[in-house]
Structure 1
Amino acid sequence: MSVFPTHEGRVAVVTGAARGIGQAIARHLGERGATVVAIDLADPMETVELIISGGHTAIGLTADVSDPEQTAAVGTQIIRRFGRVDILVNNAGIFPFRDIADLDYATWRHVLAVNLDSQFLMVKAILPAMKEGGWGRIVNLTSNSIATTSPGLSHYMASKMGDIGFTRGLANDLAPFGITVNAVGPTLTITPGVLQVHSKETLAAVAEAQAIKHNGQPDDLVGTIAFLTSDDASFITGQTVMADGGLAR
């Protein structure tokens, strides 16, 4: 039997779950016994099928979590289907590189909508059910880029600092209801999106700058998130954990 805390009987919602980090998180929570709701703007069925093929339970929902109406509808659908929400992992995010001279307001707003507004909207969508259950774990994905030199990401860094502020404030509001709220910041992680925009030289330089000198993989994050969403993390809230191989210190 595993020595790790399990998530049996929990309903876990993961956004941005179609691939990359979100897919790894969703799979791992499913392996620990949670019923997983995988949400993404892209089709999340690959993730769902991976979880189900392992003998676990999952459904997929396609939605733009930066859209208030779609997010509210997703929350209603989840609660009607399962009657509860125990875990929310706000993973959805985008990172278009733009120098400030070329950054237009529409791109600024889009990045903040996906990376920050979606976290607020998802919390609002599932919070009544989580409060009713008297137990909850919310994890918001931020980024270690806020503590590094990363040109062309002023809009992204603003959104990720906002995620940390939201996490800290929300932790204060929800502690009386048995709900903890924490943030996790990955390093530059090898995902399909990252491989499209970063050279091998950049990836090698990031790995060399870390204390643990290999590029982050999605599976490098899942243990931290599994712990923060477990019973064992009941006295941890409002914190930001940089699961980044020791780059941001």
Structure 2
Amino acid sequence: MFDLQGKRVVITGAAGGLGRAFAHGFSDAGASVLAADLDLAGAKETMTNRPGGAIALDVRDMESCTRCIAAAIDTLGGVDVLVNNAAIYAGLTRAPFDEITSDMWDQVQAVNVKGTWQMCKAATPALRAAGGGAIIQIGSATVSSGSPNWMHYVASKGAIHAMTRVMARELGADAIRVNTLAPGVTMTEASLDHFDNARSYGAANAALRRNADPQDIIGAGLFLASAAAAFVTGQTLTVDGGKVFS
């Protein structure tokens, strides 16, 4: 039931980190993948010797989102799954909420919230044309835990969780399922750069006593994209080793 043979998948933010892990995991499960990222060279590297392609994408620009989906139709023949992974995370300045500047706030929301919404808008006609499919939003377990000094990021991910529920209601009649996958701290390059002692950061609060590696997250994404989740929509699947129970 986790076989994605023949599925056509668009993954944003796929030049590295969790996006690259998703691209490889979906490809290994039989899907054809279009890796999309502002870093085109990184997206191309992700897809080396794998079926599909790569495209430059700026999710802040609606025309860029539309071109991405058009490229997926040309390259893959259509779209069955959209994974909205692109987000500002690496290098994000942490600060108390009353010290976050308007520019910091707007930068995060433009990518994490508006960019996700625009990709959903761009992809929905193609998903409808395919007779249905799946949108997987990459949220964050921080929405449940309320990570301090990070309100701009946590708020952006909370918006994605809320958007998922609205779109699940609006797109259900089109057989398009919309779910949020909410990872905890995951040992990508971004996390290793972002946190001091990243591997131990918060791990003591997890039931499994460790933080995730990207491979720990892939299975949940494959599930949400597959026939195994055919009756699952509007849900948040938290994959954080048991730090929060939601």
More displaced, 125-134 or 73-82? Answer: 73-82
Alignment counterpart, residue 200 of structure 2, candidates 204, 212, 235: 204
User: Are 1:223 and 2:222 counterparts?
Assistant: no
Structure 1 residue ranges (4+ consecutive) displaced by more than 6 angstroms after TM superposition: none
Return the alpha-carbon distance in structure 2 between the equivalents of residues 59 and 205 of structure 1: 35
User: Are 1:68 and 2:62 counterparts?
Assistant: yes
Q: CA deviation at 1:143?
A: 0.4
Amino acid at match of 1:246: G
More displaced, 97-106 or 208-217? Answer: 97-106
SS class of match (2:82): strand
Q: Is the 8 A contact 1:76 1:125 kept in 2?
A: no
- Residue aligning to 1:83: 77
User: Are 1:45 and 2:39 counterparts?
Assistant: no
Q: CA deviation at 1:203?
A: 3.8
Amino acid at match of 2:22: I
Return the alpha-carbon distance in structure 1 between the equivalents of residues 133 and 185 of structure 2: 28
Q: Is the 8 A contact 1:66 1:118 kept in 2?
A: yes
**For residues 141-180 of structure 1, what are the structure 2 equivalents within 5 Å?**
141-180=138-177
The TM-score normalised by the length of structure 1 is 0.92
Q: CA deviation at 1:218?
A: 0.8
Amino acid at match of 1:93: A
Amino acid at match of 2:27: G
For the structure 1 residues 132 and 206, does the alpha-carbon distance in structure 2 shift closer, same or farther, using more than 3 Å as the test?
same
SS class of match (2:148): coil
Q: CA deviation at 1:205?
A: 4.1
Alignment counterpart, residue 112 of structure 1, candidates 98, 105, 109: 109
Q: Is the 8 A contact 2:33 2:76 kept in 1?
A: no
Give deviations 1:100-141, integer Å, cap 9, x for gaps.
Answer: 233111211110111111111111112111101112011001
Q: Which structure 1 segments of 5+ residues have no match?
A: none
Give deviations 1:155-196, integer Å, cap 9, x for gaps.
Answer: 111111100110000001111111100001101111111111
- Residue aligning to 1:182: 179
Amino acid at match of 1:133: A
Q: CA deviation at 1:149?
A: 4.4
SS class of match (1:204): coil
Q: CA deviation at 1:28?
A: 0.5
Give deviations 1:7-44, integer Å, cap 9, x for gaps.
Answer: 11110010111111111111000001100000111131
More displaced, 160-169 or 87-96? Answer: 87-96
Return the alpha-carbon distance in structure 2 between the equivalents of residues 227 and 142 of structure 1: 16
Q: Which structure 2 segments of 5+ residues have no match?
A: none
Output the aligned Cα RMSD: 1.3
- Residue aligning to 1:33: 30
Q: CA deviation at 1:146?
A: 1.3
